[in-house]
Each structure stands twice: as C-alpha cells, then as structure tokens.
C-alpha cells in the first residue's frame, strides 16, 4: 500500500514516514511545502512531492496520484493566527478530501484533535477555539464523504520516546501520548480495515497498540 502523508514534515509525520518505510507492506509518498525539506525524506527512500496546502485541489490531487491511502497529519502550528488555522486545518483538510475523491483514493486517515465536539469549541479558551472549530468542521465534512475514513483523536502530544502502549476508544480519559506512538497508531490503523468508518481517542495506556486498535 502506497500512502501519501500530508504534513510529513511535522513531528508525527516524520515518525510516520520512517515507520512506513520500514514496513514490508507499506510505502510512503510525502507531500512537503518546500523543496529544501526533501533531503530528509529522500534519505529514507520516500517519494516526495512539493505542494502547499494553500494551493488548489488539483495540485493536491496530482500529488495523490498513484497512492492507495492518504494520511492527513498537517497543522498550522501553535504560533500562527486564526487565519492560518482556517486555511490549513480546515480548508486544507477539506481540499485534501476533495483531492482524494478526484484522484480515486478511498482510504483516508485524519489525525484530529483530542476533543472536537461542539462542547469543546464552546469551552475552549478564545485563543484555542478557532483550532478546535477548524478540526470539528473538518471531521464533520469527512464523515459526509464516501471516503473510507478513520478519525484519530490523540491526547496531548509529547516528544517522549514511544512506549507502544495505549488506551483507545470512542472516549477515554484525557492524557498525554508521545508523537512516536501516534505514528505507530496510524500504521496500525492503516493495517486494519475494521477501523474504516470509525473515530477514536487515544492516549498512553496499558495495552499494545496493535491489540488496542484491533479492538476498536
């Protein structure tokens, strides 16, 4: 399975590309924003394509040609304003879904935020609410498509070394999770078609990633 990773240059994305390239049944194609980001991924043997999420749907669809699945793990980052949040986390996500449809790619994995409910938007601090709203509407849009989607809601991300153990369910107690383990969760989700049409929260826990994803 060839997988297009949108947001590959992010911290979760880099772990994911590395894991996919080491996987006997998976192959990575990475979508990056700048040519100078390519060398890291070329060293891993991954195909690279330079497309900015603020470009049009056709540019993203061209990047998606020849792949079997798309993982959207892009984000505007904590140091940008609400304008970039809307353009990347919402509009960029929706354009990627449309590009998947245009390119004939059915499998789509969305890396979302831990809680994207309406209640989470209302209770979020004013500085964070645009991000939660963007993720909420991107998730809701994905559910209306005909894509074979899975929505992953990771807990608070850390740079700790992954431990390979998580708790995952439609709702779990809020906790942290290493970015490395989120990448492993994505791989396990790609391996398991039973996750299609489902969404789940995931945090550091007590069960192996593969077993826990198999139980979703």
pLDDT reported for residue 203:
98
Average pLDDT for 44-70:
97
User: Which residues are part of the catalytic machinery?
Assistant: 131
H helices of the chain, where? 11-21, 38-43, 57-63, 82-85, 93-103, 118-123, 129-144, 179-191, 209-214
pLDDT digits (tens, 9 = 90+) for 18-45: 999 999 999 999 999 999 999 999 999 9
pLDDT band at 86 (very low <50, low <70, confident <90, very high): very high
Give the global pTM. 0.96
Cβ neighbours for 189, distance < 8 A, ≥ 6 positions apart:
109, 150, 152, 195, 213
Domain ranges of the chain: 2-214
Give me the pLDDT at residue 42, please.
94
CATH 3.40.50.300 assigned to domain 2-214? The reply is: no
- CA-to-CA dists, residue 5 to 8, 29, 189, angstroms: 5, 6, 14
Going by their DSSP bridges, the two strands 69-72 and 107-111 should be labelled as parallel
pLDDT digit string, tens, across residues 97-136: 999 999 999 999 999 999 999 999 999 999 899 999 999 9
Query: How far lies 16's CA from each of 54, 106, 119, 146, in Å?
Result: 23, 20, 31, 25
């Amino acid at each position: 399975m060839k997988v297009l990773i949108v947001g590959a240059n992010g911290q979760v994305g880099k772990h994911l590309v590395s894991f996919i390239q080491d996987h006997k049944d998976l192959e990575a194609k990475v979508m990056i924003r700048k040519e100078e980001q390519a060398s890291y991924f070329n060293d891993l043997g991954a195909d690279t394509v330079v497309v900015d999420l603020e470009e049009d749907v056709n540019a993203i669809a061209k990047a998606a040609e020849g792949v079997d699945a798309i993982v959207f793990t892009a984000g505007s980052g904590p140091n940008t304003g609400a304008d970039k949040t809307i353009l990347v986390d919402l509009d960029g996500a929706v354009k990627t879904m449309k590009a998947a449809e245009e390119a004939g790619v059915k499998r789509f994995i969305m890396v979302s935020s831990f809680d994207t409910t309406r209640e989470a938007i209302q209770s979020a601090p004013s500085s964070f609410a645009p991000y939660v709203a963007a993720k909420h509407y991107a998730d809701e849009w994905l559910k209306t498509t005909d894509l074979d989607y899975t929505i992953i809601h990771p807990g608070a991300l850390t740079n700790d070394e992954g431990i390979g153990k998580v708790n995952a369910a439609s709702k779990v107690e809020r906790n942290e999770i290493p970015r490395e383990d989120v990448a492993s969760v994505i791989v396990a989700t790609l391996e398991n078609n039973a996750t299609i049409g489902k969404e789940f929260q995931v945090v550091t826990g007590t069960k192996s990633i593969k077993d826990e994803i198999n139980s979703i």
